Amino acid sequence: MALFPLTSNFQEDFVLQLLAVDTENSMDELAAAAAVHSVGRRVKPRPGVLRVRRQGTDEAFPRNLKVGDAGLRPMECVEIYWEGSAGSVRAPRH
Amino acid sequence: MAVLNRLDWYDIARDTNWTPTYVAESELFPEELSSAFGLPAEVFEEYDEPYKTTYPEYVKVQREKDAGAYSVKAALERSKMFENASPGWLSVLKLHFGAIARGEYSASSAEARMVRFGRAPGMRNMATFGMMDEIRHSQLQLFFPHQYVSKDRQFDWAFKAYDTNEWAMIAARHFFDDVMVTRGAVGVALTLTFAFESGFTNMQFLGLAADAAEAGDWTFSSLISSIQTDESRHAQIGAPLVQILVKNGKKAEAQKLVDISIWRAWKLFSILTGPVMDYYTPLEHRKQSFKEFMQEWIVVQFERSLLELGLDKPWFWDDFLHEIDEQHHGMHLGVWFWRPTVWWNPAAGVAPAEREWLEEKYPGWNATWGQCWDVITDNALDNKMEQTLPVTLPVVCNMCQLPINFTPGPAWKTRDFSLTYEARDYHFCSEGCRWCFEQEPTRYQDHLSLVDRFLAGQIQPPDLGGALKYMNLAPGEMGEDALKFAWLDEVRAERLKKAS
């Protein structure tokens, strides 16, 4: 168990935020922690399953994968998005 | 006795070049302080300053300018401007004075470097006046806000901000240190006078003086006009130098420094000037949008002067034009959402009529930024104020030190531009900021952003409260919504109208 800082980029939010999780957290728990900082603050709540992926990839991490086993670097940027939602696939540029 | 005309004696009087015999030329003008790209002294003899003045003329004019600015201030001291101004305008003043006043002193030291280590006599002469200009600007912009300190302690940040680790101040200081404090004489002429001053601040001060007059703040308007007249003179130091560098095979070197400064100045502008023009200034006083201002005053004249002097448009010009449309909306939203972390009270600027204006000026605003503000507005209407405030830090850019943000909503354009250098991961807001770092990584690599400091345990306790303490923000200084959410009344009225 160890505190692990990540960068959260939540779907449809405007800013990257510091996200403190634990290496033992699952990806679902990571997504829930990220949602606290975005959903209901600047992003409208919506139904559906939140998934997590590395920035720049299309494939989500398995939902029960532990943060510590995902090969992420501290402060690496992860994207949290509603599975299958419109706009969840990123455009190549900003 | 007949007195010669100035032009009959100016060149010979200001030509203080001499041939050193006790020390080598390289000791008199060390490369790290002159930063003349190894060019010999004689190539700089062509330098011809476009604005010629003498010391007696300078003193006479400056005395008159000071008398004008101070007498307007004295005459209007009982004018109740402070009491009658819109809260948004007072925020403009606090933001401006805190971010700029002490920076002017840094600019004075940069000018002093050109005075001593500039290779061209004309450059040294102009910089002497520039150095004194900047001291004057610092003094004026510390003295003027002081009259408001007893009424509102956020005005104390005119002096205090520069010594703090408040995040916006870290950003401003990082930029100023880069372009003013840590460059040699030629570097300063390119990054400070040519790129930042002639490109950005000279025009911005014109706009700010007009905004102040429009807001009824004649004291600030006269102060800024007075400063701008100095700015327009000493900002001309860089242009003749660019021509010399281009002519002598140093175009790439000059272009790089100019590009770095333009990009970095833009990022700072996007947070200092964008929100002021499009959100803080009351709707009835807005003459043009920030985007229109940038396009008309900055982009057009900058393109022209770059090309005229033999430089190219920076490689990032398309990104820059694109960002003008979008970036400052995110800076504004970030400042407002993290409002306890700034020394001024940001005006939300999103009442129904203001949103209509934003949509007109920035088509698509409602479908992007507006979506975030919808959630915030609903929370505020439901009195869920805790949801309108943050519980974590934004990740800030390792170059501009500003929150990494871009357009939200279905477009969802925000991303991290990362880079690993010597085993450390850096995070940037844009290609432009990453590129600045890559030009000289050793220059920037050891700096820790606010988030880096947080993760390194320098901020205790490690929470938002600890961060506020680290930033020296005391109660009464932390920002809050400028209108104390009075703008919600207009939202309620509109919703009622729609429902009936």
Nearest to B418 among A13, A14, A77 (CB): A77
Cα–Cα distance between B447 and B436 in angstroms, integer?
14
CA atoms within 13 A on the CB side of B483: 18
Looking at the structure of chain B, the number of domains it has is 1
Among B408, B410, B418, select the one facing A13 at the smallest CB separation. Answer: B408
Compare all CA atoms of chain A with the CA of B323 and give the residue at the minimum distance: A94
Asked if residue B67 belongs to a domain, the reply is: yes
In terms of residue numbers, what domain contains B254?
30-499
Is residue B380 in a domain?
Answer: yes
How far off is chain B from A72, nearest CA to CA, in Å?
Answer: 12
Check CB contact under 8 Å for A12 and B412: yes
Class at the top of the CATH hierarchy for domain A3-82 = alpha beta
* Cα torsion through B202, B205, B207, B213, rounded to 10: -150
Identify the CA nearest to A53 among candidates A10, A3, A13, A1.
A10
ipTM rounded to 2 decimals: 0.97
B388/A77 Cβ within 8 A? no
Please report residues of A whose CB lies closer than 8 A to that of B392. 17-20, 37
Predicted local confidence at residue B4, as pLDDT: 87
Task: Sort strands A17-22 and A50-54 into parallel, antiparallel or unpaired.
Answer: unpaired
The tally of CA atoms less than 13 A away on the side-chain side of residue B116 is 13
Q: Say which of A7, A14, A86 has its CB closest to residue B395.
A: A7
Per-residue b/e over B104-141, b at no fewer than 16 CB within 10 Å? bbbbbebbbbbbebbbbbbbbbbbbbbbbbbbbbbebb
A16 touches chain B (CB under 8 A): yes
CB contact under 8 A, A16 and B379: no
The chain B residue lying nearest A34, using CA atoms, is: B392
Going by the DSSP 8-state scheme, the letter that residue A90 receives in this structure is P
Interface of B with A (CB under 8 A): 330, 333-334, 337, 369, 371-372, 374-376, 379, 387-388, 390-395, 403-416, 418, 425, 427, 430, 451, 454-455
pLDDT tens readout for residues B176-203: 999 999 999 999 999 999 999 988 887 7
Alpha-carbon distance A65 to nearest alpha carbon in chain B (angstroms): 23
Task: State how beta strands B417-421 and B424-428 pair.
Answer: antiparallel
Q: Model confidence over B244-293: pLDDT tens digits?
A: 999 999 999 999 999 999 999 999 999 999 999 999 999 998 889 999 99
Q: Does the residue B97 lie in any domain?
A: yes
CB contact under 8 A, B413 and A91: yes
In this structure, are residues B212 and B228 in contact, taking their beta carbons and an 8 Å threshold?
no
Provide the pLDDT for residue A89.
Answer: 79
* pLDDT score at B81: 87
Give per-residue pLDDT as tens, B51-73.
889 999 999 999 999 999 999 99
Comparison of pLDDT for A92 and B426, the residue scoring more: B426
- Residue B150 CB coordination number (10 Å): 9
d(CA B76, CA B93) in angstroms, rounded, equals 16
Nearest CA-CA distance, residue B409 and chain A, Å: 4
Q: Where are the domains of chain A?
A: 3-82
Residue B350 resides in a domain: yes
Q: The domain that contains B288 carries what CATH number? A: 1.10.620.20
Inter-chain touch B414–A15, beta carbons under 8 Å: yes
pLDDT band for B211, please (50, 70, 90 cuts).
confident
